Amino acid sequence: MHKLTVFFDGNCPLCTQEITLLKKLDSKQQLHFEDIHATDFVYRYPYIDIVAADKRLHGQLANGQIITGLDVTAKAWALVDHHRLLQVLRWPVIRWFADFGYLVFARLRHPIARLYKHRACPDDNCPL
């Protein structure tokens, strides 16, 4: 059984890059990934609000609890035993600032991805 299901934006190049890396590192098969833009997503996960999940990463723990934002990111990376420093972002005082920064990033992730693509691949032959 998976310990965390990650509901991600498959239309976001930065998001899919991170999911691809997490899949490679998930040797113990503890993570499960679901694209919120899949055609049958609303039928399989009617309790996940796609608009909310598009604004803020959502995840579901094995016990059914829904978590969001950096809680999902920190949990996913912890389960694949990488980026342990991410846990610092969940400390009480730092958490507030980190969550605010995450919300700004989440809102701007598509323009950031386009900017990244332009800088990394100026000829438009880019996997992003």
Is the pLDDT confidence value at 47 over 90?
A: yes
Residue 117 confidence (pLDDT) = 62
Total structural domains in the chain? 1
Report yes or no on 127 lying in a domain: no
Residue 99 confidence (pLDDT) = 95
Report yes or no on 128 lying in a domain: no
The single residue listed with the structure tokens 């098969």 is 29
What mean pLDDT is reported for the chain? 90
Q: Is residue 41 left, alpha or beta, with left meaning phi > 0 and alpha meaning psi from -120 to 50?
A: alpha
Parent domain of 36: 4-120
Report yes or no on 102 lying in a domain: yes
Taking CA atoms, 115 is separated from 57, 75, 106, in Å, by: 21, 28, 15
Is the pLDDT confidence value at 24 over 50?
A: yes
One-letter amino acid for residue 32 of the chain = H
Instruction: Indicate if the alpha-carbon torsion angle 82, 84, 90, 95 is positive or negative.
Output: negative
pLDDT in tens, 78-122: 999 998 888 899 999 999 999 999 999 999 998 888 876 644 444
Mean pLDDT of 68-83: 95
Is the pLDDT confidence value at 31 over 60?
A: yes
Instruction: Indicate if the alpha-carbon torsion angle 120, 106, 17, 43 is positive or negative.
Output: negative
Report yes or no on 125 lying in a domain: no
Report yes or no on 111 lying in a domain: yes
Reported as half-sphere exposure (CB side, CA atoms, 13 A), residue 62 has a value of: 9
Both tokens assigned to 9: 């934006």
**β-pair type (4-8, 31-35):** parallel
* pLDDT band, residue 48 (cuts 50/70/90): very high
Is the pLDDT confidence value at 51 over 90?
A: yes
Mean pLDDT of 22-33: 97
Report yes or no on 104 lying in a domain: yes
